[in-house]
Structure 1
Amino acid sequence: MRPALIPPALIPSVLFALVLAACQPSPPAAPETPAVATGASTTAEADAHFLDLAQRWLDKSLELSPIAATQVGDHRFDSHIDDLSQGGRNRALEFNRKMLAELDAIEIPSLSRENQVDARILRNKLRYDIWTSETLQSWAWDPQVYSQLAGSALYGLMARDFAPMPERLRSATARMQQIPTLFAQMRQNLDSARVPKIHAETVSRQNAGVLSLVDELILPNAGLLQGQERRQLDAAVAVLREAVDEHQKWLDETLVPDARGDFRIGETLYDEKLAFALDSPLSRQEIRSRVEADIRRTREEMYEIARSVLRDRDDAPAKMPDRPSPEQQQAVIEAALELAYADRPAREEVVELATRSTEEATAFVREKDLVTVPDEPVKIILMPEFQRGVAVAYCDPPGPLDKGLETFYAVSPIPDDWNDDQVDSFLREYNTRSIHELSIHEAMPGHFLQLAHANKHPSILRAVLYSGPFVEGWAMYAEKVMADAGYMDNDPLMQLINRKWNLRAMANALLDQAIHVDDMSREEAMKLMTVTAFQQESEAAGKWVRAQLTSAQLPTYYVGYSEHLDLRAEIEQRESKNFDLKSYHDQVLSYGSPPVRFVRQLMLDEPIR
C-alpha cells in the first residue's frame, strides 16, 4: 500500500481526497437531529448524538461519492458515478458545511474518549473537503481528478469478488454509460490557463487506460450476461470507446497545447493542505529540520555499515577514514550498495522470491514474538497484467466495509517485453534484499498485519477515514523493527538496504515541500534522490514527475514513521524495565488507524486534542 509504488486508482485515501461532488438525485434527507447544547447532559447522550451524526455523514457522503463508496465496500451505489458538474459540487459543499456546523455544535470533550478521536477526525475531513472545493479548487485545474475517477469507477467493481460477476457486470455497464458525462464535465470545468502542462500531458497519456480495464477485466467475463443485458454491455462499451477517442482528441488538440498553469501550488496553499493531509502537530519547517538531521545521521550509519562490509575486500575504496569527506562517504556507501545490487533474482524468479520472503518474515515475527500475528494468512496473488511494470509488489486490502474478503499481496513478474537494460535498472533498485524489505513493508509485519489489527476496531468512521501517516508510518516502522531484531541473521547489507529505503522516505518529504514552496529545479531534485538518497536514475525520474503531479502526500511516510518512533521512545522511557515490545505493538495497533497523536493521547490518558 505504499503509494509511491501503487497506481493512484488503487489508493482509497487518494480517491477520498479527490472526491468533491455528488452523484444522481438522492432520496429525501433524514430529519435533522438537534445539536447538543452547551453544558449538555450525559456522555451517553452526547455519544448517541455524535454516532447518529457520523452515520448520517457516512451514508450521505458515500451516496454523493459512489466511486469512493465502492472502494470502501458500500455497494448500494455501484451503478452510479460521481457528478462533478457545478450543481453536483454545490450539493456536496452544502452538505459538508451543514455537517460541520452540526459537529461544531457538539462539545467534543463531553464525548467518550474514543468518540472524541472520531469527532476530531471527522472535523478535519469536513474542513479539508470544504477547503479543497473552495480554496484549492482542484476540480478547475487538475484533470487527474476526473481521469482517476473514470479508472476507479470500473476497477473498483471488477478487482474483487464482493458480489457475483453478473451483478458486477451490470453495474459496470451502468458506469460505462455514465463515464462520457464525466469527460464532458471535465471539459466544462477545467480552465486551461490554470492547468499545469505536466498534468495535461500525463492525463493525455493515461486516457486510453480506461479501455484496458474494459478489455482485460470486463469483456473476458461478458459471456456471463445474456440477451438484452449482454447487448446493453456491448453498446456501453462501444459508446465508451467513442467517448474516449473524442476525449483524446480534445486532450491532444486543446488541453495540452493551451495548458499553462503552474504545477507548484505555493507556500500558502501547501502549508494549509499539509496541515489537513497529515493532521499532525509537525509543521513544514519542523519536518524539514528533522529530515535534514535524519539524512545526515542515516548516511553516517550507512557509512559505518559500508566500512564493515568492505574492510577486508581487495576492491574496497582506498580511503575509508573515521571522519570521511562527503566524497569519501559517498564512494564507500556506493561501493557497498553495489554488492547488494549484485545479489538479485533472475527476472523469472521475482514472484517466487516475494512469496518466500513473506513466509520468512512471518516466521521471524512469530519466532521473535514481536507482535500478535493474525490467524488469517496474507494471500499472495499474481498482479493483474494491466498493473505490471509500475511496482514489483503492493498490498491490496479490501474496503473497510467489505467484510470477510481477503487482503492480497500482489506480486508482479517483470514484463516480457522489457529489454535487458530495463530489467537491469529495475533489479538494481529491487534487488534480493529490497524485495525482502518490500515484503516486510507490504505484508509482514507491515500493511497486512496492521490492517488486520485495525479491522477489529469497532469504529467504521475511523476505518473509512484512516490516517495515511499512521498506516505508511507503521509499515516503515515495521522495517526498522525487523532490522533491529536481526532479520536475515544481522546481514549488514540488509541493514544498508533498510537505511537506503529510509532515505527514500526522507527525500520524499524534503522533495515535496522544496518543489512546491522553494522552487526546487529538476536538477536539484535528481541530485537529492540519486546522490543523497542513492536511488536509481529511472526511479528518481519517475518521482520527479510524481512530485509535480501531487502535493502533501509524499511526506506521509516520513512524518508517520517519525511519530511512531517518538511515541515508542516516550513509552519506553515511561515504562523503563516494564516495557514489553509485543504488548506495546498490540496496544498501538488496537486503536485502528487514527493519526498517531491520538494514539499517544489514548495510551497516556491525556486530553484528546
Structure 2
Amino acid sequence: MRLKPLTLALLPSLLALSLCACQPSPPAAQDNAGATTDAAATAEADAAFQALAGRWLEKSMEFSPIAATQIGDHRYDDRIDDLSQGGRKRSLEFQRKVLGELDAIDVTALSRENQVDAAILRNQLRYDIWSNETLQSWAWDPQVYSQLAGSALYGLMAREFAPLPQRLKSATARMQQIPSLFTQMRQNLDPARVPKIHAETVSRQNAGILSLVDGLIVPHAGALKGEDRKQLDAAIASLRKAVAEHQTWLDETLVPNAKGDFRIGETLYDEKLAFALNSPLSRQDIRSRVEADIERTREEMYGIARGVLAGRDDAPAQMPDAPTQEQQQQVIEAALELAYADRPARDEVVDVATRSTEEATAFVRENNLVSVPDTPVKIILMPEFQRGVAVAYCDSPGPLDKGLDTFYAVSPIPDDWSEAQVDSFLREYNTRSIHELSIHEAMPGHFLQLAHSNKYPSTLRAVLGSGPFIEGWAMYGEKVMADAGYMDNDPLMQLINRKWNLRAMANALLDQAIHVEGMSREEAMELMTVTTFQQEREAAGKWVRAQLTSAQLPTYYVGYSEHLDLRNEVEQREGEDFDLKAYHDKLLSFGSPPVRFARQLMLDEPIR
C-alpha cells in the first residue's frame, strides 16, 4: 500500500518547467504549410491547457495546505484545510469553473502528453465534484477529519525539508487550528449516517495525534526560544485539552449514536469505482477475471505444494493429479504450514523488513531488471494515527521535495494482542511473507516506481498519480522477481508469492461483494481464510479495512491485470527484440498515469 496525499495541491511557480514535460519544441522552418499550421495549433492549445492546469494547481494548494506540505509546496505549512460549509462551497465552485474551462479546450489539438494530463485532470475534477455533492463523505466519515489532523503535524516533522525552528513554528500554527477542525467535524457529521465501525476506529485513533506531539514535537521544543517557545507550549497544552474534549464527544456522542450503513451500495460503488480506477474494466469484468485467476493460482499452488511435500512423513495421504477441492485445500495448507514455521519474533519484524529490502535491491541490480534509484529507503514504525487500516505502506517524498527520505512504514504488533493473536499475525507475516512485503513496498515496488515517477517533469501527473498504476506496479514487481528466480531454490517462497497474489484477488472481490452484494463477515472470512489461505488476524483486519474504505482494495489487482496485459502485448509485438529492462524503464518514464494511458503512450496509439 502506498501512502497517498490526502488532497491535491502544488507549487505553481515551477509549472513553466514541470507542468508539461513533453511540450513540442518550436517547429523548424518547413515547406509543408499544413504541418506548420498543426504545430502552431498544438502550441496554442498546449499553452491554454498549461495555464488552466496552473490555475487549478495554484488554487488547489490554497484549499488543501496539508496535502501541499506532503507534495512539497511549503508556502502554506502554517495552515490547515477548511472543511466548513463555506470552505466546501468555495472549493466546489472553483472545481466547476475549471471543468467548464477544460471542456472548452480542443484536446485533440494538444500534444500527446498534454492529452493524457488533460484526461487525468478531467477525471479528477469530476471525481472531486461527485465526492463533494454525491458521496458526501464529509457528512458521514469521521476518518476524513482524523487523518487530516494527524497528517497536519506528521507532514511537517517527519522530514527535514526546512530548518527545525521553522517547522516547529509551522507546527505551532497548525496545532492552534486543529481544534477548529474538530469543531467542523462535530458540525458536519450526521451521526445517523456515520457507520459505527468508522466512529469506533476514529475513537481509537484520536489519541494518536498526541503521540505525534510527544514523539516528534516535544523532544525538539528546545529549538525554539522566547515568545516562539511560549506559543509552542501553549499550543501543545490547548491541543491536549481539545483532544481530550474531542475524545469525550467521540465516546459519548458519536459512537453510541452512529447508525449509518458502511456499505455504500451499487450505484455509489460503481460510480466511485469508475473514477478511482479510470480503467476500461467494469465491476463485472473484475469479478470474472478474479474468479478465473483464483482457480488458476490455486492449481499452481497445488503443484508446488505436491513437490514440497513429496516423500515427507507428514504429507497428506492423498495428493492425486486431479484432486478434489478438499484434497487441494489440505495439500496447500500442509505446505504453507512449513512456511509459517519460519517467522520472526514479535519485535523483529522491522529488522527482517530491513534485511529483505537490502537483499531484494541487490537482486534487482544483479539481474538488470530495471534501473535502480540511488536514494535509500528507510524502514520505520508506522505512526500511531495511521495504524489500523494497513500493515505497511510506502511514504515517498512529494514531487517537489527533492533529496528527502522515503519511508517504508511497518505497523508494530499491538501490545494488547493475546499470544494467539500474535501467533496468527506472524504466521501471515512469516519471514518469506516479509520478503514479499518488502518487494511490494520497496524494491522493485512502490519505492522504485515512485522514485522514477517523481523524475517525470509533469508535476500535475505526479500529483494525480493513478492508484491502479502504482499499486498494480508493486504487485507486478512481485511477479517480476519471482519470474527472475528470486529465491528460486526455495519452493516455499514460490508458494508464498502465489498466496500474496491470491490476497490481491480476494481484495478486489471482497470490495464489491461487501459494498454491493451484502457479503457477511462470515462469508468474507471464508473467502480470505479458506479460499485464499489468509490467517485469522490478517482476514479480520481486512474485514475492518473493507468496511472503512471502498474502491481502493481493487486497485492492486486491476492495475496488476492491466500491467500484465500491456507487458504481454508489447512482448508479442517485439518478439525476440523485447528487452525487459528497457521496457520497464520506458514504462516508468511516463510517471504514474492510469495504465490505459501508459499503454497508449507505449504503443503510440491515440489518447482516448
TM-score by length of 2: 0.92
- Quick one: distance in 1 between partners of 2:416 and 2:533? 27
- Once the two structures are TM-superposed, the CA of residue 147 in structure 1 deviates from its matched residue by 1.0
Correspondent of 1:16 among 7, 25, 39: 7
Q: Which amino acid aligns with 1:189?
A: N
Report the AA paired with residue 555 of structure 1: P
Contact 2:153–2:174 (Cα < 8 Å) also in 1: yes
Deviation at 1:348, TM superposition (A): 4.7
Number of residue equivalences: 579
1:191 aligns with 190
8 Å CA contact 1:350–1:412 kept in 2: the answer is: no
Give secondary structure in 1 for the equivalent of 2:394.
Answer: strand
Distance 2:526 2:335 in 1: 20
* Contact 2:194–2:261 (Cα < 8 Å) also in 1: yes
Q: Flag the 1:386–1:136 CA change in 2: closer, same or farther, 3 A.
A: closer
- Aligned equivalent of 1:28: none
Equivalent pair of 2:305/2:332 in contact (CA under 8 Å): yes
1:301 partner amino acid: E
Once residues 159 and 114 of structure 1 are traced to their aligned partners in structure 2, the CA distance between those partners, rounded to angstroms, is: 34
How far did 1:351 drift?
Answer: 3.4
Q: Which residue of 1 aligns with 2:150?
A: 151
Change (3 A) 1:538 1:366: same
Matches within 5 A, 1:191-340: 191-340=190-339
Cα shift at 1:153:
0.8
- Residue 192 of structure 2 contacts residue 258 of structure 2 at CA under 8 Å; is this kept in 1? yes
Q: 1:303 to 1:138 in 2, by over 3 A?
A: same
* Residue 414 (structure 1) shift: 5.5
Instruction: Give the match's secondary structure for 2:408.
Output: strand
Q: Residue deviations 1:128-161, cap 9 Å, x none?
A: 0000001111111111111111111111111111
- Cα–Cα, structure 1 residues 420 and 204, in superposed 2: closer, same or farther, change >3 Å? closer
**What's the Cα RMSD here?**
1.9
Paired AA for residue 118 in structure 1? D
Partner SS state of residue 503, structure 2: helix
For the 8 Å contact 1:193–1:261, the answer to whether it is kept is: yes
Give the deviation of 1:379 after TM superposition: 3.0
The aligned counterpart of 1:542 is 541
Separation of aligned partners in 1, 2:141 and 2:393:
26
SS of alignment partner, residue 260 of structure 2:
coil
Counterpart CA distance in 2 for 1:490 and 1:123 is: 48
Deviations 1:320-367 (A, max 9, x none): 111111111110000000000111234454333322222221221122
SS of equivalent residue, structure 2 residue 457? coil
**Distance in 1 (alpha carbons) for counterparts of 2:543 and 2:410:** 25
2:489 counterpart of 1:472: no
Distance in 1 of aligned mates of 2:170 and 2:217: 11
Aligned equivalents of 2:249 and 2:351: distance in 1?
44
CA distance in 1, matches of 2:40, 2:139: 45
8 A contact 1:380–1:411 mirrored in 2: no
- Partner of 2:228, secondary structure, is helix
Aligned with 1:151: secondary structure?
helix
2:105 corresponds to = 106
Q: Deviations over 1:372-391 (max 9, x none)?
A: 222x1423344266479867
Structure 2 residue runs of 5 or longer lacking an equivalent are: 10-37
Separation in 2, partners of 1:418, 1:207 = 20
CA distance in 2, matches of 1:40, 1:342: 64
State the AA in 1 paired with 2:338. Answer: L
What SS is found at the alignment partner of 2:236?
helix
Answer yes or no: is the 8 Å Cα contact 1:378–1:409 preserved in 2. no
- Tell me the distance in 1 between the aligned counterparts of 2:195 and 2:417: 31
Contact (CA 8 Å) 1:434, 1:497: kept in 2 or not? yes
Alignment of 1:123-142 (within 5 A): 123-142=122-141
Contact between 2:394 and 2:409, CA under 8 Å: does it hold in 1?
A: yes
Deviation, 1:369, is 1.4
What is the identity, as a one-letter code, of the residue corresponding to 2:378?
A: I
> For each residue in 1:15-52, what CA deviation from the matched residue of structure 2 results, as whole angstroms up to 9, or x when unmatched?
128x9xxxxxxxxxxxxxxxxxxx99610111111111
Q: Is the 8 A contact 2:159 2:405 kept in 1?
A: no
In structure 1, the partner of 2:63 is 64
Q: Which residue of 1 aligns with 2:170?
A: 171
Q: Any idea what the Cα deviations from partners look like across 1:524-562, whole Å, max 9, x if unmatched? A: 001011111111101111111111111100100000000
Q: Which runs of 5+ in 1 are unaligned?
A: 4-10, 20-38
Question: What is the identity, as a one-letter code, of the residue corresponding to 1:380?
Answer: K
Partner SS state of residue 253, structure 1: helix
Distance in structure 2 (CA, Å) of the matches to 1:249 and 1:180 = 14
Residue 448 of structure 1 aligns with an amino acid whose one-letter code is F
Structure 2 CA distance for aligned equivalents of residues 606 and 454 of structure 1: 21
CA distance in 1, matches of 2:113, 2:52: 15
Amino-acid identity (%)? 80
What is the alpha-carbon distance in structure 2 between the residues aligned to residue 454 and residue 127 of structure 1? 24
Superposed displacement of residue 465, structure 1: 0.5
Match of 2:381 among 383, 403, 406: 383
Q: Secondary structure at the match of 1:81?
A: coil
Summarize the alignment of residues 380-459 of structure 1 with structure 2, pairs less than 5 Å apart: 380-383=378-381, 386=384, 393-410=392-409, 420-459=419-458
* AA matched with 1:313: R
Contact 2:150 2:385 in 1 (8 A): no
